[in-house]
Amino acid sequence: MFIHPKKRGGWSCMLAAGMSWLSVGLCAQSAPSADDVGATAALARNSVLHVTTHDPSGQVVPDVLVVVENADRQIARSVTSSAGGDIDITGLSPGEYRLNASKTGFLNSSATVEMASAGTISVEVSLTADNAPGRETTNSPDPTNASDAPQPAPSADPVGGNADPPATNAAPKGFWARLAKAYWDDWHPSGPTPDSKYRGYPPPESNPPYPFNNWPIGGTVWIGYNNATSYPLTTALQTGPHGDWWKKANIQIYGWANAGFNFSTSTQEVGGKYANAPMGYNQIPNSFQLDQVTLYVERTPDTVQTDHFDWGFRMTNLYGLDYRFTTAQGYFSQQLLQTKANGTLGNQYGYDPVMFYIDLYFPHVFEGMILRLGRYISLPDIEAQLAPNNYTYLHSLTYTYDCYTQTGANATIKFSSFFSFQAGVSPGCDTAAWKPSSQLTLNFCEQFEWRAAQDNVYVCENSINSGNYGYNNLAAYYVTWYHKINSKWHTASESWYQYESKTPNIFNPAAASLLITNANGAWCKTAQQLTCYAPEWSVLNYTNRQLGAHDSISFRNEFFDDLRGQRTGVKGRYLESGISWNHWIGSTIVFRPELNWAHNMDNVVFDGGTRHSQFMFASDIIWFF
């Protein structure tokens, strides 16, 4: 830490740098006397936050975006430094503020400023160029230099996030003792941990209590942010006898066990084994189920740095009831795509290699580019197949009946903090390239983020091909909007329109031979039609309230119009609402109880086609390892 005292207004000031590329000087003018102290509004009118931006040599760095937000992350101001590197911000009420500075070609960083009373607080920000020698980075390790071993950090976000180093002292010698210590440290943190490095807007949320720090974007890691994780299993390996190798290799091994139960108005006695359908995932009513056990092996590329190429990979194994929804035709799909003697579809439990891909990071393509090759989660959607990536235990109809995975290539280019563009090619949704349902499919997505990441719109043309009937061969068009209302509330809204053409008519016996196992036909307008056009559309909203560092509540409402019944199997307009509570223990255990109501306005569908409505209480636990 560099400390440089100076005088201003009769008070001693100190220039401090908590990181090698950020210098912050805090100076206060003479404190007001008791006679000067007035109402908070008067203090706000008289307070000035003066910011100067320069490089380590003292040269002015103009046009730096400075975001000043309340300590609880409610945005106050977003301003840009002048040609002289100066900013004066007035009207800030007394309190703690967070300062985030960013400029293309420089590393971002942050500082905390206390506006205690009327007067001037001066902050000097020293920004170091991305490729400046001697700066700290989270670069990939040099295998010949032990000091280059990356320092992974814990995050409860399985697709990556702003992770922090584990709070451990000397590690015990035995593996199980090290694993136990990793859990103990997670459940008993020694104090706050510093924010991870990043390039771009500051993360708008925190994980926990939400499933992410940054707004979701599919088919890529977050460019400009730390995507590494360090759950207890990884920590136990990295602090063991071969810890240096694990750190140098930058490989994380982790996963979770997810189990839950539900009490439903539908019953197996009336509606059969999967009577909760068409609600997704936990379709067996009034039961306890193993939803998913996963094992990840991955390496994440360092996308904070911009001076060299990096790479990563992920292999995700999933076993449990949820394989029934993630299965793609051609990947161990014989477990599901068979009719059992009792008339049900496939095995109750099964295995799916739900993700296997490599990521190639090219830092000099605008603000960075990721090229992903392999099988990956379909790009759009608020929700995801993997349990921790969701606000709630139960899934919406909007998510249950769209595309799940694709196998192909997807490129993501970050042009700026405001705009990212994606383009990809695959054989279609949920199918291997060698299966009859495959066909050349393109996808394009555009992400727009503004107001310092308080708003994010994600538009996806997810499956562009002929749209003809096949195994989940959906032509689909999405828009998702994330909006942060204030420090406690945010919303996530999604709408899509999708369809399949030439869908076999379930009312025409001549079309029966055209049907594909686990791919519904359509309720065509007349029985004479052999096939017909089968569209559907949906609107979904999550409204979320953070209750504390480890607690949040989510309200979900949706309208889903299955115009030809091709998605759910029963034509109709669906309404669905729910409320869920998330409670975390550290970042390794989460409980998610919830209440849910679903209703088809036009036809009976629940409980084996005997009810219009269904009410359910459900809860699960996710235990990370």
Range in 131-140, 320-329, 536-545 with the lowest mean pLDDT: 131-140
Q: Does 560 fall in a domain? A: yes
Structure tokens at 284: 């067996």
Q: Does 449 fall in a domain? A: yes
Domain boundary residue, one of 126, 158, 178? 126
Q: Flag whether pLDDT at 596 surpasses 80.
A: yes
Q: Does 378 fall in a domain? A: yes
The larger pLDDT score, comparing residue 138 to residue 310, is at: 310
In this predicted structure, what is the pLDDT of residue 28? 33
Q: Flag whether pLDDT at 307 surpasses 60.
A: yes
In this predicted structure, what is the pLDDT of residue 344? 94
Q: Flag whether pLDDT at 141 surpasses 60.
A: no
Count: domains in the chain: 2
Give me the phi and psi of 191, to 5 degrees please. Answer: 165, 180
Q: What is the pLDDT of residues 96-122, one digit of tens each?
A: 788 888 887 788 877 778 877 667 788
Q: Does 476 fall in a domain? A: yes
Helix (H) and strand (E) counts in the chain: 8, 27
Q: What is the pLDDT of residues 255-277, one digit of tens each?
A: 999 999 999 999 999 999 999 99
The larger pLDDT score, comparing residue 153 to residue 526, is at: 526
Alpha helices in 9-142 (DSSP H): 40-46
- Residues 79-84, mean pLDDT to the nearest whole number: 81
Range in 84-93, 375-384, 420-429 with the lowest mean pLDDT: 84-93
Tell me the C-alpha distance between 127 and 129, whole Å: 7
pLDDT band at 249 (very low <50, low <70, confident <90, very high): very high
In this predicted structure, what is the pLDDT of residue 4? 29
Domain boundary residue, one of 126, 152, 176? 126
Q: Judge if 354 and 502 occupy the same domain.
A: yes
Residue 348 contacts residue 336 (beta carbons within 8 Å): no
Q: Does 229 fall in a domain? A: no
* Closest-CA residue to 277 (of 620, 607, 35): 607
pLDDT band at 75 (very low <50, low <70, confident <90, very high): low
Q: Does 137 fall in a domain? A: no
What average pLDDT is seen over the chain?
Answer: 86
Residue 613 contacts residue 599 (beta carbons within 8 Å): yes
Q: Report the Cα–Cα distance between both ends of the chain, in Å, rounded.
A: 36
Q: What percent of the chain clears pLDDT 70, i.e. is strictly above it?
A: 84
In this predicted structure, what is the pLDDT of residue 71? 52
Q: Flag whether pLDDT at 8 surpasses 50.
A: no
Q: Flag whether pLDDT at 145 surpasses 90.
A: no
In this predicted structure, what is the pLDDT of residue 169? 54
Q: Judge if 116 and 261 occupy the same domain.
A: no
Cross-strand partners of 38:
none
pLDDT band at 16 (very low <50, low <70, confident <90, very high): very low
Tell me the C-alpha distance between 58 and 275, whole Å: 69
Domain boundary residue, one of 126, 159, 180? 126
Specify the CATH number for the domain of residue 489: 2.40.160.10
Range in 2-6, 143-147, 154-158, 174-178 with the lowest mean pLDDT: 2-6
Distances (CA, A) of 78 to 101, 126, 229, 486: 10, 18, 31, 15
pLDDT band at 496 (very low <50, low <70, confident <90, very high): very high
Q: What is the pLDDT of residues 190-226, one digit of tens each?
A: 876 666 789 999 999 999 999 999 999 999 999 999 9
The larger pLDDT score, comparing residue 555 to residue 38, is at: 555
Q: Flag whether pLDDT at 580 surpasses 70.
A: yes
Range in 80-89, 415-424, 438-447, 483-492 with the lowest mean pLDDT: 80-89
Specify the CATH number for the domain of residue 95: 2.60.40.1120
Tell me the C-alpha distance between 324 and 524, whole Å: 27
Q: Flag whether pLDDT at 485 surpasses 80.
A: yes
Range in 110-114, 220-224, 235-239, 578-582 with the lowest mean pLDDT: 110-114
The 8 Å CB, 24+ separation contacts for 456-464 are: 456/204, 456/215, 456/481, 456/482, 456/483, 457/481, 457/482, 458/215, 458/216, 458/217, 458/380, 458/482, 460/218, 460/379, 460/380, 460/422, 462/378, 462/379, 462/380, 462/403, 463/403, 463/428, 463/429, 463/498
For residue 288, how many other CB atoms are within 10 A of its CB? 11
In this predicted structure, what is the pLDDT of residue 311? 98
The larger pLDDT score, comparing residue 554 to residue 44, is at: 554
Residue 532 contacts residue 503 (beta carbons within 8 Å): yes
Q: Does 268 fall in a domain? A: yes
Q: What percent of the chain clears pLDDT 90, i.e. is strictly above it?
A: 70
Q: Flag whether pLDDT at 495 surpasses 80.
A: yes
Q: Flag whether pLDDT at 468 surpasses 60.
A: yes
Q: What is the pLDDT of residues 514-542, one digit of tens each?
A: 999 999 999 999 999 999 999 999 999 99
Residue 469 contacts residue 519 (beta carbons within 8 Å): yes
Residue 404 contacts residue 377 (beta carbons within 8 Å): yes
Helix/strand/coil for 561 = strand
Q: Which residues have CB under 8 Å from 114's CB, separation 6+? A: 95, 96, 97, 121
Q: What is the pLDDT of residues 342-359, one digit of tens each?
A: 999 999 999 999 999 999
Tell me the C-alpha distance between 236 and 166, whole Å: 11
Q: Does 334 fall in a domain? A: yes
pLDDT band at 151 (very low <50, low <70, confident <90, very high): very low
In this predicted structure, what is the pLDDT of residue 278? 97
Residue 66 contacts residue 113 (beta carbons within 8 Å): no
Domain that holds residue 613: 247-624
